[in-house]
Structures are given as C-alpha cells and as structure tokens.
Amino acid sequence: MEVSYLPAGFLLILSLFAVLVSGSRRTLPIISFDEGYTQLFGDDNLVVHKDGKKVHLSLDERTGSGFVSQELYFHGYFSASIKLPADYTAGVVVAFYMSNGDIFQSNHDEIDFEFLGNIRGKDWRIQTNIYGNGSTSIGREERYSLWFDPSDDFHQYSILWTDSQITFYVDNVPIREVKRTVSMGGDFPSKPMSLYATIWDGSDWATNGGKYRVNYKYAPYVTKFSDFVLHGCAVDPIEQHISKCDIAESSQAIPTGVTPLQRIKMDSFRTKYMTYSYCYDQARYKVPPSECVINSQEAERLKSFDPVTFGGGRRHHGKRHRRSRSRHPEDISI
C-alpha cells in the first residue's frame, strides 16, 4: 500500500536531526496525553493525571491496560519517561513500542522496548526487539540489566527510527543501534507505525521462561508514564502521494544520530549491562542472521556466563561469572 505523508513531516525530520547532531540537551516538545494518545484497552485501569501529562496503567486479575497514538508515523523520535512497578513483579510485562499489526496483520513491523518483571530481590530486565515485514520467525532480541532501579523513579526511554537505522536510548544514552543492511531486505521496519504502551500478564514466558508467574496478591501493578514526545512524520494512510519525508531523509546532510561521545557511552553500556543478544545465540541460530556483525570480545563475554546459549557446549557452573552491579550513571560516562 502506498501512503501519503503530511507536508509538515519535512520540517519535523529536519528539526529532529538538527537536535540530534547538536549534541546538546534535547528540547523536543513534550505533549499532554490527550494531544497525542487515546486509550487502547483496560477501562478504568488507565488513569490520566489531573494535569493531563501523566498516565497510570495498571494490571490486576481482571485486565491489563494500554494506550495508542492517535496518528501513524513514518520515522521520527519517540519518547516517554516511565516508572515501573516495584516489589514482586514476576510475569509482569510493560511494553513501550511501535507497531502496525492492526493494519498489516500478515507482514507487520515492530520496534520494541519490553520491560520484564522479576521475583523479589531481582531487578527488572529490559528487552529490545525489532521485526520487519512479519519476520517474527527471527527474533532480534537483546536484553540488559540497568545501572539504576527503574521502579524507584522515572527514567526516559526513547526510539529513533529513520530510513537507515533504529537507535534505542535510556536517559539519552544510546544502548542499541540497528543499521539497515541489504541482507535484511524487508526485515527492516519500513511501513508507518503507531506508538503503544501496555501492561499485561506475560506469565507464560516473561520470567525464567514461565517458571515464575504473576502473583495477584501484589496487584494492582501500576506503571507510570510522563514526558511524552511524538516527534515524527504523521501519516495519512488513505491518500497516495510521494513522501516528502523520504526526500528529506535521503539527503547526505542528515547525520547518523549517534555522536562519537554517545558511541563510547553505548559501547560501555553494552559491555557492562548486556546479558543476551540473538546474534550470539547458538542454541537458536547455528548460523547468525545475515545482518549480525560478530564481535569476538562480546561473544566471549556472553559465553562466560551462559556457555550453553552462547558457546554451544555443556554448562559448567564453576565457570559462570556473576557481574557486580553499580547503580551510578557515572559508570557509563566519560
């Protein structure tokens, strides 16, 4: 399906990349909930704060809850500050993601932040993932721990999506960059998407493969959202004209989005906090997917604490290393 993009998208993309290349603090406009979103499901399990800028989503035995952007977007920068539920959160999944599954049911695209709860005393884990053109048979997951407790306070989670790359950020630190390659073909997300946020029961898989399930004794589980940024090319899916966003993004003047300083921080984060990458999962992929660029040091580090998944051999508990955890953001600073 050929779609049309609003003329304002041209200016949105140019201003977006001007902010990114400047290296200064982002000053993208923060909108109220009603300006950009509408309730998806959950009845009164979605509560908008009286100032209109904060939203609470909750999960109880009756239902989860969620919201969705009012517009479809084709590329841009999308962000929210999120505070996750505390205490025992096994089986609870909070998701902040882009998708067009309601329009392209057999060949949808997706860009995911997924927050996977845990048993008491264990920290939330973050998972990022992408699908393009319905390529769900190839999971492109990465998982990470964090340098802070995401249930203590609000932290910013952001997605930059362009024609050539996708970058995930936590508190303005890039944690993952997915560059479009020829080998990915249609597996790179390339169709307009809506932005979603949900909380739901993922007992069957979210914590230790479903070993620990949601315990509704601790319900309701409440996650809080604020500081909404929807800065992209809004799409009218009905009209059919050439996209001016495409023209803007094909310009050689547009930067990559990750500065040299940010790349150092990203490498540091991944060295300290990445716990899983699909590219090294030998149990799932005998040959890594074609877009993977194998880093030998990264491979050895992952193999050291999970030799079955990342080394293809037997598990030797004596060789498994537990990494120490710092809670200070300075650990990923220069």
DSSP letters of 64-96?
Answer: -EEEEESSEEEEEEEEEEEE---S--TTEEEEE
Partner residues linked to 179 by β-bridges: 165
pLDDT for the residue numbered 316: 43
pLDDT for the residue numbered 28: 81
Task: Considering the candidates 2, 35, 61, 114, report the single residue annotated as catalytic.
Answer: 114
Mean pLDDT to the nearest integer, 14-33 = 60
Nearest 5°: phi and psi at 89? Answer: -130, 20
- Residue 209 binned pLDDT confidence (cut-offs 50, 70, 90): confident
- Residue 225 binned pLDDT confidence (cut-offs 50, 70, 90): very high
Instruction: Please name which of 11, 196, 209 lies closest in space to residue 102, comparing C-alpha atoms.
Output: 196
Higher-pLDDT residue of 22, 235: 235
Mean pLDDT to the nearest integer, 211-219 = 93
- Residue 137 binned pLDDT confidence (cut-offs 50, 70, 90): confident
Partner residues linked to 130 by β-bridges: 111
Instruction: Please name which of 68, 113, 43, 91 lies closest in space to residue 219, comparing C-alpha atoms.
Output: 91
Which top CATH class is 33-245+252-260? mainly beta
Nearest 5°: phi and psi at 5? Answer: -120, 140
Q: Is 114 tagged catalytic? A: yes
Partner residues linked to 28 by β-bridges: none
Q: How many angstroms separate the CA atoms of 12 and 228, rounded?
A: 16
pLDDT for the residue numbered 328: 44
CA distance readout (Å), 76 to 16, 29, 118, 166, 280: 7, 13, 32, 10, 29
pLDDT for the residue numbered 238: 67
CA distance readout (Å), 122 to 2, 48, 95, 220: 47, 30, 19, 19
SS3 at position 164: coil
Q: Is 142 tagged catalytic? A: no
Q: Considering the entire predicted model, what is its pTM?
A: 0.84
Residue type, 72: L
Long-range contacts from 127-130, C-beta under 8 angstroms, 24+ separation: 128/168, 128/175, 128/176, 130/166, 130/178, 130/188, 130/189
| Lowest-confidence pick of 109-123, 147-161, 248-262 | 248-262
CA distance readout (Å), 319 to 306, 307, 314: 9, 9, 11
Long-range contacts from 14-17, C-beta under 8 angstroms, 24+ separation: 14/248, 15/231, 16/76, 16/77, 16/231, 16/232, 17/254, 17/255, 17/257
Higher-pLDDT residue of 322, 76: 76
Which of left, alpha, beta for 241 (phi over 0: left; psi -120 to 50: alpha)?
beta
| Lowest-confidence pick of 77-91, 143-157, 216-230, 312-326 | 312-326
Higher-pLDDT residue of 262, 28: 262
Q: Classify burial at 153, counting beta carbons within 10 Å of its beta carbon; exposed 0-12, middle 13-18, buried 19 or more.
A: exposed
Instruction: Please name which of 278, 293, 287, 291 lies closest in space to residue 183, comparing C-alpha atoms.
Output: 291
- Which tens digits make up the pLDDT trace of 233-276? 888 866 644 344 544 443 333 345 789 999 999 999 999 999 99
Provide, rounded to the nearest whole percent, the portion of the chain with pLDDT above 90.
Answer: 62
Higher-pLDDT residue of 79, 331: 79
- Which tens digits make up the pLDDT trace of 166-186? 999 999 999 999 999 998 888
Q: How many angstroms separate the CA atoms of 91 and 218, rounded?
A: 12
- Tell me what the pLDDT averaged over the chain comes to: 83
pLDDT for the residue numbered 139: 84
Mean pLDDT to the nearest integer, 50-61 = 96
Q: How many angstroms separate the CA atoms of 44 and 322, rounded?
A: 42
Say if residue 47's pLDDT is above 80.
yes
pLDDT for the residue numbered 239: 63
Q: How many angstroms separate the CA atoms of 20 and 217, rounded?
A: 44
Sign of the CA dihedral with 282 first, then 286, 288, and 289 last: negative
